[in-house]
């Protein structure tokens, strides 16, 4: 299980992450789980479908902290592809 937890917004780079997942070999056994809401969620779901990934992705939505911790425990990998957006928005330390 490849896990990512965060809002579906441009600076989180989920479109980049989905593109990378689409490059994984077809015979590799993996699933991607996303936890969180966000303004880009529907666009990302559509992108996943266009990339042929919709059967490998579970969109969990917002979860309570206890549930999120359980997903962390079950995951094999945590992935996040943050980037700086065109307007300079970014995550990280000031």
For the segment 35-63, what is each residue's pLDDT rounded down to a tens digit?
999 999 999 999 999 999 999 999 999 99
Q: Which domain holds residue 45?
A: 7-78
Q: Is residue 67 part of a domain?
A: yes
pLDDT tens per residue across span 25-35: 999 999 999 99
More confident residue, 87 or 74: 74
Q: Is residue 91 part of a domain?
A: no
**Least trusted range by pLDDT, from 5-9, 34-38, 39-43, 88-92:** 88-92
Q: Is residue 1 part of a domain?
A: no
Calculate the dihedral angle through the C-alpha atoms of 52, 58, 61, 65, rounding to the nearest 10 degrees.
Answer: -140
Going through 1-94 in order, the beta strands assigned E by DSSP cover 2-5, 32-35, 57-61, 77-78
Q: Which residues contact 3 (CB under 8 A, 6 or more apart)?
A: 32, 33, 35, 71, 72, 74, 75, 77, 78, 79
pTM above 0.85, yes or no: yes
pLDDT of residue 64: 97
The total number of structural domains in the chain stands at 1
Q: Is residue 90 part of a domain?
A: no
Q: Is residue 66 part of a domain?
A: yes
Q: Is residue 19 part of a domain?
A: yes
Q: Is residue 12 part of a domain?
A: yes
Q: Quote the tokens at residue 39.
A: 């303004």
């Amino acid at each position: 299980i490849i896990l990512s937890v965060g809002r579906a917004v441009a600076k989180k780079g989920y479109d980049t992450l989905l593109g990378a997942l689409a490059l994984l070999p077809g015979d590799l056994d993996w699933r991607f789980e996303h936890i969180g809401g966000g303004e880009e969620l529907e666009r990302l779901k559509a992108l996943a479908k266009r990339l042929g990934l919709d059967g490998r992705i579970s969109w969990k939505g917002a979860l309570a902290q206890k549930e999120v911790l359980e997903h962390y425990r079950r995951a094999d990998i945590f992935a996040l592809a943050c980037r700086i957006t065109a307007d300079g928005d970014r995550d990280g330390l000031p």
